[in-house]
Structure 1
């Protein structure tokens, strides 16, 4: 019985070849190539290599996820960067957002002037008068880039004489009536700025400050009307309400009434807006030979509203 078991093992006994040096370099463990090389054959009994679509699909999914993640980050960054100083940003400076020029002017960076120590903002709790405690001269919108400033509107030390504002109105009776209105309601002072852009558009902005917001509201009602102002500006004998402003252009705590000259225009096309913000009224006038564009007018009015709000 013992010889029957030992006899068959002798022919297969020489197991020396496995101990001989291998003729090819040793390979990595069978599981490692499957993680590093998608083309490694599947360890199935079939000699044919396993198809590669699953890894390729995984890579496509990964690339898609990365693309969507990058897009989400871009939109988040753009949304965060959108602020009230966008007026001075060239749209073509933002990769992927280049558009044809839309007519907006390039304003410099706009910031609110500091408040005196201990003074509240105009619409803060406890400021029932709606007083602007910041220097009114610093609340006038600056001229856009490339514009030529009208130094005459800066007045003396930044304060403008009332007669310079009254000169905007066409009729002597209107100038006298408005002058009396301002006197009766104790106009404190006027800060103003004006400029002319390269296309010939002339802009004038006047800020009128009174003792309280309640007083300013009375004057605002005396200067404006539901369909047209009670007093006509020079060059605009007939006007209509300007309803071209976007609903999103409303500035909190600022009341706006805007008018556009009715066609046919005179020597110049005149646009005008009145703003009421607490103790201050703003008068914004733009005029241009031919056609005063709507976009820069609306942009100017909204930016001035934001400074006052």
Structure 2
């Protein structure tokens, strides 16, 4: 997915599986990527003029069953740099297109802090289409709204269809 106009490209390319694995907080995830046959992780990120840093990660597995098996673990295992999910803010649910004419409800989690970035929050969505699990993450100042992230999630889901 191309970066939006006026955004600065930050990440672009392949992410080593071991690096992604090491950054995950869930005790269930480490090692499961290799067992599930994770092929590779494509990663693209950018910083918008409002300070929001968006990263899209696409994890490709050998088949939809392997992707499905790890999707739940990935939802439960956010990066270690994020604080606990906010309790005062309800999670948001988006309905995104999936294969064919089907749709899927995607939960967007909000985290109350980002390690090393005072005053910032993180929002993260994990969803699956076929053999690919997509993770869309946005970090930025609390004042930055959710519309841009919601649009990125919808666009990414449409592109994976």
If the length of structure 2 is used for normalisation, what is the TM-score? 0.81
Note the 1:19-34 alignment, pairs <5 A. none
1:185 correspondence with 2:40: no
1:234 correspondence with 2:81: yes
Report what 2:109 is aligned to: 259
The answer to whether the 8 Å contact 2:14/2:42 transfers is: yes
Match for residue 45 of structure 2 among 194, 197, 208: 194
Count of matched residue positions in the alignment of Structure 1 and Structure 2: 151
Structure with larger Rg: 1
Note the 1:95-110 alignment, pairs <5 A. none
Match for residue 20 of structure 2 among 120, 140, 165: 165
Distance 2:40 2:107 in 1: 22
1:243 correspondence with 2:89: no
Distance 1:257 1:191 in 2: 22
The answer to whether the 8 Å contact 2:85/2:109 transfers is: no
Q: Pick the structure with more strand per residue.
A: 2
Note the 1:1-309 alignment, pairs <5 A. 141-150=1-10, 153-154=11-12, 158-166=13-21, 168-169=23-24, 171=25, 174=26, 177-224=28-75, 229-231=76-78, 233-239=80-86, 242-243=91-92, 245=94, 249-253=95-99, 255=104, 256-262=106-112, 265=113, 267=118, 268-309=120-161
Distance 1:292 1:261 in 2: 14
Distance 1:259 1:183, change over 3 A: same
Distance 1:217 1:195 in 2: 28
The answer to whether the 8 Å contact 1:202/1:286 transfers is: yes
Distance 2:61 2:129 in 1: 11
Q: How far has the Cα of 1:178 moved from its partner?
A: 2.4
Q: Secondary structure at the match of 1:217?
A: helix
Distance 1:198 1:163, change over 3 A: farther
Distance 1:244 1:282, change over 3 A: closer
Distance 1:179 1:291, change over 3 A: farther
Q: Deviations over 1:13-56 (max 9, x none)?
A: xxxxxxxxxxxxxxxxxxxxxxxxxxxxxxxxxxxxxxxxxxxx
Distance 1:304 1:168, change over 3 A: farther
Q: Secondary structure at the match of 1:198?
A: coil
Distance 2:6 2:71 in 1: 32
Distance 1:234 1:191, change over 3 A: same
Q: Secondary structure at the match of 1:193?
A: strand
Unaligned runs of 5+ in 2: none
Distance 1:276 1:294, change over 3 A: same
